[in-house]
A = this chain, B = another copy of it.
Amino acid sequence: MTVLFSKKCELALQSVLYLSILPKGTIESADNISKQIKAPREFVSKILQSLTDVDIIKSKKGKFGGFSLAKDPKEIKLIDIITAIDGDYVFDSCVMGFPGCSDENPCPMHEKWAKLREESLQMLSTNTLADLYEITKRKIEKI
C-alpha cells in the first residue's frame, strides 16, 4: 500500500488546518489538537515541534502554553507544510523509481507524469490556509 504523503505529513496538514480556523492568535495545546484530529498526542506533539522549527507555527511552554500559527493564514501555503515534513522529494523523484530519470533520459512515464506533477505542485503552491478556510471549518466541525 502506498500514500502520497507520509502519515506525519497528513497529521501536520490536519493540525495546521485546525489551527487556521481558530480565532486569530489562539494558543491550542498539543493535547487538544491531537484530540481534535484523533491522533496520538505524543506523535502530534513531535510533528508540531518540527513545524515550529520552520516558522509555520510557534510554541509557548508552560501553563496555558501550546501552539499557534506563526503567521497569517494567507501567508501559509500547503506546499510549505509538505516540504517541511516530507521534503521536496515527492516532486522531483522518478515515479517508477528508475535511476537517472530526467527530461533527457526519461522513464516510460516521465513525460505523461510531468504534467500531473506540475499541476499538483501548482495547486499546492497557490493554495493557502486562508483559501481553504470555509471548507476546512465545515470538515473539522463534522469530525
Contacts and interface: CB of A to CB of B under 8 A. Distances in A.
Contacts of A87: 1
Contacts of A127: 109, 112
Nearest to A124: B109
Interface residues of A, number: 46
Given A78-B109, A109-B127, A111-B135, 13 more contacts: A2-B4, A4-B4, A5-B95, A5-B97, A10-B96, A11-B97, A13-B96, A106-B139, A107-B139, A108-B132, A108-B135, A116-B116, A119-B119
A98 B139 contact: yes
Number of copies: 2
Contact of A136 (B6, B99, B108): B108
Nearest to A8: B2
Contacts of A109: 78, 127, 132
